[in-house]
Chain A
Amino acid sequence: MAVTPKIALSGVTKSFDANHVLKGINLTVAPQESLVIIGTSGRGKSVLMKCLNGLITPDQGSIKIDGQEILGQGQAALEDLRRRFGMTFQFGALFDSLPIWENVTFRLRHQQALDKNEARDIAEQTIIQLGLAASVIDQYPAELSGGMQKRVALARAIVDKPEILLFDEPTSGLDPITGGVIDRLIIDARERLGATTVTISHDMASVRRIADKVAMIHNGVIIWAGPAEAMNESGVPEVHQFVHGLAEGPLTNEKPAAAPAKMATS
């Protein structure tokens, strides 16, 4: 019997005015699988990821989590759904005005009404698991290095043990060693939680470390998807060019599609 995919996208489209960012995305992710989405900048990877947890509503198509359709379910259902997700953003998106312990336990505090001491204990344990010193919890995001901020963002994403983890360029802007550490932490977290992960990355070394499956998006569609080890033999010129970082090839630096700067009032 076929296993129900953890995530299944079918015919997902999204346009911003005349800018057709997603033109019919079909993709499945198996339970506990690690999918990495690759593609040149501005081709809709982040828009696709934001569609997965309802930050952006697609124009058409279907998105199913565990076989349940999530589109058109209303705000309450969407909020329930989001509790099953953890997400990190490209630049951390930590709350500047809050200390690290409040950043890490933000959802727990607001959803479960944890008291301050409990929240601090949980934040401290999570931070230590990710290789940071316990004293970090009283610092503010601006006081931390980029690598430390990425770890804190990861801590915030995993602290309430989500089923699905979304990582938007988790190693961007980091040196190779710190990037490798972040990759190892992602793999550890996934194994410990038994989570399904979807990652956007341009960093091919990172892709090879963390991906079970790779999908390449170009011009709003998935042009190739397959096991990570088959990337080099995909037979698709765009994938070959991207994976090997070649300047010459079918991928050009034409005007990229941009996600909207303005979001709907919710």
Chain B
Amino acid sequence: MHGFVQNTGRTALNFLAAFGRITLFSVTAVRWIFTPPYYWQQLLRQTIDIGYFSLPVVGLTTLFSGMVLALQSYTGFARFSAEDTVATVVVLSVTRELGPVLAGLMVAGRIGASMAAEIGTMRVTDQIDALDTLSTRPMQYLVAPRLLAGTICLPFLVLVGDVIGVFGGYLVGVYRLGFNPSIYLARTLEYLEISDVTLGLVKAAVFGFLIALMGCYHGYHSGRGAQGVGRATTNAVVSASILILIANYIVTTMFFGG
């Protein structure tokens, strides 16, 4: 019993300590986003890396998710003669939920890992110390542009992913399930509201921030050697993925007022 209480207490304290460290790290980084000098070249590089090079993976993921969603919805709704709602279900599911979450998880795997590996390697090879000796703040040069780029690029990616996902549903709906193209498109737009898209984009911005934060935090505090960088990379992807799912619920709740 004593050991159980001790272990529970230690786990709780470790969790709180980690939460405090990550909070301090993010507050410091956000402060540097708004403090000159601004490293535009770094921001541009990160924007291209996150926004442009993630397009194929996000596009493919949302395309097939939209296609599967159309098939599954049809299977379910056909049981109570509600096949007409397939287009509406696809567009609402993709814009409000699947687009941001799937794009977030895919980008967490691609970008979170890459940020943690790059910054972790810089840590273990003294490049971060070298930045300090060259009168450049590593948080401002390395972390702030990545956080900003992540927050800006994810909504853009999700917007593109939404369109592709809905198009995937359209392809299946029209060419596999035999819907009339005009009717399918009309149904797609009929019940879609601006707030549905906005919710997805807000989620995407939050996810982008969290992915970059986890990648930078774990890389910045990477342990020694290849093993340390490997562990930082794994931790970045796992923690970003979990945080995305938690934040998804929180943001959804906020928009629905509980």
Residues of A at the B interface (CB closer than 8 Å) are 50, 53-55, 79, 82-83, 85-87, 89-91, 93-97, 106-107, 110-111, 156, 261-263, 265-266
Contacts and interface: CB of A to CB of B under 8 A. Distances in A.
B223 A261 contact: yes
B133 A87 contact: yes
B130 interface: yes
A107 B130 CA distance: 11
Contact of B135 (A89, A96, A107, A265): A107
A78 to B, nearest CB: 9
Contacts of B134: 82, 106-107, 110, 156
B10 interface: no
Nearest to B143: A265
B129 A266 contact: no
B123 A90 contact: no
Contacts of A55: 129, 132-133
B124 A93 contact: no
B136 interface: yes
Residue among A85, A111, A261 with most chain B CB within 10 A: A261
A107 B136 contact: yes
A79 B37 CA distance: 14
Contacts of A266: 132, 137-139
Contacts of B125: 91, 93
A110 B136 contact: yes
B19 to A, nearest CB: 15
Nearest to B225: A261
Residue among B24, B123, B126, B137 with most chain A CB within 10 A: B126
Contacts of B123: 261, 263
Among all A-B residue pairs, the 6 with the closest Cβ atoms: A93-B126, A93-B130, A107-B134, A89-B126, A87-B133, A261-B224
Interface in B196-230: 220-224, 228
A66 B37 CA distance: 30
B129 A89 contact: yes
B11 interface: no
Contacts of B25: 265
Contacts of B139: 265-266
A91 B129 CA distance: 12
B131 to A, nearest CB: 8
A117 B137 CA distance: 25
B132 A110 contact: no
Contacts of A93: 125-127, 129-130
21 contacts: A54-B132, A55-B129, A55-B133, A86-B133, A87-B133, A89-B130, A90-B126, A91-B125, A93-B125, A93-B129, A95-B130, A106-B136, A107-B134, A261-B124, A261-B222, A261-B223, A261-B224, A261-B228, A265-B28, A265-B220, A266-B138
Nearest to B220: A265
Interface string B6-47: 000000000000000000110010000000010000000000
B37 A110 contact: yes
Contacts of A97: 118
A168 to B, nearest CB: 8
B128 interface: yes
A106 B25 CA distance: 25
